[in-house]
Structure 1
């Protein structure tokens, strides 16, 4: 009963802690401005199934995609066994679902194969990051915590899968020894081989099995509460993020509704004034972004496919689309903590622009959409960059000289070039 009570307290506490952290993330995302991404339900469901569930865009790089698929499918399916572990923990039973007979044997058999695939894939991922040093996984913005975060999660998954197989190995050997409470159940293709390396003493085997059981369940609950502070939150958010994707053509830029209303009112005095006072044109801080931009920031996997495809980054410029998303998330977390401390946001004299993202970064962007095309979960760094640019141009009039020259030409000549409109077709005479 003491063991069951401890398990119940730990389990309920972990779920409550996750719920509390999830509510903060939801609150932070709701700080963003409204945007309508609720229409075209059938198209959105199809996109979510293809991109998030089917991982369609991952397979542009087949080797890491296959490894990721093993981890993704394996870890998700293996955690089905959490149902049995929770029931056993609460009621003091052991392998309570074994009444399913042959189907239960099939499940355990499948879990062991998948656990081995997860274990192997995580080891290979660690080698790619730390031995082969793949460039996109070892760039400047990943130094310190982001790199530690990625390694930590891989090591944790390796430890969890090892504990799972060790638990089954000890259980299998206890079954063969006909130890009380360990009824014959399950099929163990991998752990039955590991059992040969375990002691023959029942007490030692029970200790190994119980230790591995507790390590596995506590590890999974700790992993659950690690998600909100980790890039691995994409395990949960990839599905809503792809569902709420922008369904319009990637090259299409939307007019700012606030500007459109102002211009219409200027051109036609009979129209009613703009519906609301405009507090700011463009984006200076995270509160000026839409909730979808903020959801993007929390969903970012930090995989670096966007940065690897970015022509500005490839040519050595400061811009890294991955860093744009990481900086947005960091600033949003800072704003959230500010609200937690002060009950509402208190001006901290900081902003996303300048304090997190520099002007050199936003003006290095060619707006080619390569980052958007490459992202495996449909994140859109370009929308954030364009919002920051709009603020700099429309609120501060501080665009680079080359951009100001282009805007002047557009105003005076109707084209980005310095030639008069009457001379624009002269090149055809040469």
Structure 2
């Protein structure tokens, strides 16, 4: 084992910063910038990024690759086994509360679990897992959560059938109020100011610690969220937040912004999943069957997972090393090194992922994706997304409800061709569908 890992040349560091990390930052890490996302698609920047990382691995080997970044030890993880190790051994010695993450999320959840470490992180994580019931396929509030998702999706489907078109703005106009109802209760459905506050803070968070804090704006957000926790609407996650036991160091209200934030890219993933199903009519027909078909529910969730695999909502997984770390074939990295795992590089790695550029939701329903230790649509290991099952249940329910009530077809030109490798970038804000009412929609309206 060498004393030092491979270090990229100045020119290659510039290539990585300019061709991989720069475009990710430009598109918005915490809240997406639609114009930048559209530009990245037109310029095929995602394809370019994957190609650059492939060349770096060929040139420097599979061990972590250090970049020449002044004032900060930074390394890219390029080997699948190293990805497994980093995720498995988080948060020690691979801390999830990286410096950049603390700077970003501190704008709207300064006491959240993702910006915590040590014992306080453990306490906050236990609280969040108790509320979200991490690892349980069916949440205890499914009796309220499911009907809320179906109600909003039915309203969306009926409106789209009248206009004949479904685009992102219309989908989001149904998705976001639904999320507010699920998280905070029915009274939050029309609370557009709350979403505007959170979006503004997330916009600042895009710049991490380079953006000045807005404590006045954060306090307004906290007061509004605190009122919903106090109301504890039956069937809402806020009611569980109010009822769950927690140590004093667990700021109950401060955990909620992360859930509202995470549901935003989840909506984009669901909309991309709709595009994938529309491009694969045979799979769409299986999702659109009668409401009590468990295999159709599983397939809808598999479509969402496959959407996030193909177009990750977390473009770069960040970790900071808390101690000196040693790497097989890659030398030693000092404590405080920032590690970056570019999700799309591994999700589309044709050497390790079968049919990497194809839509295959059954890789998830049949368990074949479990063998791919670099497939991390909701992260993995001890820092896995605690709301994974909730998001999949809600997104799957929305897709099933839509497809049982309306027919959808991509408005040409469609960026997705089932006979060709899928693009490495897909702008959800540009997707449009031609919609028509299904003849049997009335028969399944109550399912």
- Please state which band the TM-score falls in when normalised by the shorter chain: under 0.3
Greater relative contact order (Cα < 8 A, sep 6+): 2
Higher helix share goes to which structure?
Answer: 1
TM-score, normalization: structure 1?
A: 0.24
Tell me which structure has the larger Cα radius of gyration.
1
Higher strand share goes to which structure?
Answer: 2
